[in-house]
Chains A and B, each alone.
Chain A
């Protein structure tokens, strides 16, 4: 079947089998390999992308379901060559080691900060509770999101643009 969807602002049309999972569509058909294919069982959250503005575990959706809808992946976080403040936060606070969970973590973090610009630690931990990191013990991820919140205040637009450059 033919499906058309908008991914990070660009429209894509592909002919796919209805059984194709969204994560495989993004990685194999569109070659957007930033979203990671992890546990395959909706547990780990490495594949989290946004569908119509809300985070989704893309291993648990068919590409067909996203037809006509709007998708944002980790590749769509940066704007005009400048990293999103969440990405800058993960750099500044060592929010990753192996990096496998990072795309999903950052998509959820961006969504959280859009809803709650200055979240408490408990709110950050709740937001990422459906995602697994086996390196950091989560501490640096929470710190990264907090950093992003602190550096978004006042200066940043809703997408984080205008935030301060990261200095490491």
Chain B
């Protein structure tokens, strides 16, 4: 029987209240959202917080909305809610692609977007996605809010820039017209973590005959990519004409620069091979969507 060890439980009624509780109970307290990463870790004693601060009752953190030219996603938005959001899917199909293959429908009912990012598992799909689309994380502290690019959010495995007395409240994604995005993942079975996964977003400049890439974002999960992104492949793509050959080359660059490790999901060279192939496929599909053709 797996049960967490002794823990105290507090309920936050607002963001301010959560911050007050975090300050009062100190670094040995943990924010409890969906609990689908934290509770399993507590059962295994990989996490042993002294106090849980349940934020599920805070209203206002479960919103998906457009504000100006930004898509805003509250930290308490559940995976299922993001998957159901036509607004999110319209602007970033990569979000829906990824959500369809995160865990299973029951887990997706409760697991949260903010929890996924803060868990900072090296195989987390959404870290790669929000890295690819250059989202910004809004982190609230008692002295106010700060905005941190998701590409600077992770300090390492299971470690983020969110301080013990701070709370991630929202993800903001800039919207630009003319883009397309997609996510490709290989897992051993339904609902499992990625063996490798790649997310891509691409913006095209259609001025000349063959469209060229004006901007690209590539996120990688589970393969030891720094900050979950493939910057070298992004740099290569900028200004290139859209072609399968260019996307294959970008995939190759992404594969060369990631640092997968061998584990029960596969050997490193297999993961590196997958990284190249999945990056190429994600780019092709993203480009097709940018051109209004579903791949």
Q: Do A60 and B4 touch across chains, with their CB atoms under 8 A apart?
A: no
A41 to B35, CA, bound (A): 12
A130 to B192, CA, bound (A): 10
A18 to B56, CA, bound (A): 15
- A87 partner residues in chain B, CB cutoff 8 A: none
A168 nearest CB across to chain B (Å): 30
**Is B215's CB within 8 Å of the partner chain A?**
no
Q: Do A64 and B54 touch across chains, with their CB atoms under 8 A apart?
A: yes
Interface band, chain A:
20 to 34
Q: Do B39 and A61 touch across chains, with their CB atoms under 8 A apart?
A: yes
Closest residue on chain A to residue B32 by CB atoms: A65
Q: Do B39 and A55 touch across chains, with their CB atoms under 8 A apart?
A: no
**Is B175's CB within 8 Å of the partner chain A?**
no
Known contacts A126-B105, A129-B191, A130-B103; A18 and B8 CB within 8 A of each other = yes
**Is B70's CB within 8 Å of the partner chain A?**
no
**Is B6's CB within 8 Å of the partner chain A?**
yes
**Is B235's CB within 8 Å of the partner chain A?**
no
Q: Do A130 and B3 touch across chains, with their CB atoms under 8 A apart?
A: no
- A56 partner residues in chain B, CB cutoff 8 A: 106, 109-110
Give the residue among B5, B32, B43 with the most A Cβ atoms within 10 A.
B43
**Is A144's CB within 8 Å of the partner chain B?**
no
- B238 partner residues in chain A, CB cutoff 8 A: none
- B11 partner residues in chain A, CB cutoff 8 A: 67
- A61 partner residues in chain B, CB cutoff 8 A: 35, 39, 110
Contact with A along B84-116 (1 / 0, CB 8 A): 000000000000000000011111011000000
Known contacts A21-B3, A131-B106; A40 and B43 CB within 8 A of each other = yes
Contact with A along B47-61 (1 / 0, CB 8 A): 000001010100000
Give the residue among B2, B3, B36, B105 with the most A Cβ atoms within 10 A.
B105
Contact with B along A51-68 (1 / 0, CB 8 A): 100111100111011010
Q: Do B3 and A55 touch across chains, with their CB atoms under 8 A apart?
A: no
Known contacts A55-B106, A108-B106, A126-B105; A65 and B54 CB within 8 A of each other = yes
Q: Which of B170-206 contact A (CB under 8 A)?
A: 190-191
Q: Do B3 and A24 touch across chains, with their CB atoms under 8 A apart?
A: yes
Among the listed A19, A40, A60, A131, which residue makes an inter-chain contact with B6, where contact means beta carbons less than 8 Å apart? Answer: A19
Q: Which of A79-135 contact B (CB under 8 A)?
A: 108, 126-127, 129-131
A37 to B226, CA, bound (A): 40
Among the listed A42, A60, A130, which residue makes an inter-chain contact with B105, where contact means beta carbons less than 8 Å apart? Answer: A130
**Is B207's CB within 8 Å of the partner chain A?**
no
Top 7 nearest A-B pairs (CB, nearest first) are: A130-B104, A18-B9, A19-B4, A54-B109, A130-B106, A64-B9, A40-B2
| Given A54-B80, A62-B35, 9 more pairs with CB closer than 8 A | A40-B1, A55-B109, A56-B106, A60-B110, A61-B35, A61-B110, A62-B4, A129-B104, A130-B191
In the complex, 27 of the A-B residue pairs with CB atoms within 8 angstroms, ordered by the A residue number, are A17-B6, A18-B8, A18-B9, A19-B6, A19-B7, A19-B42, A21-B3, A41-B40, A45-B104, A51-B110, A54-B110, A55-B105, A55-B106, A56-B109, A57-B106, A60-B40, A60-B110, A61-B110, A62-B4, A62-B9, A67-B11, A108-B106, A130-B103, A130-B190, A130-B191, A131-B104, A131-B106
Name A's B-contacting residues (CB within 8 A): 1, 17-21, 24, 40-42, 45, 48, 51, 54-57, 60-62, 64-65, 67, 108, 126-127, 129-131
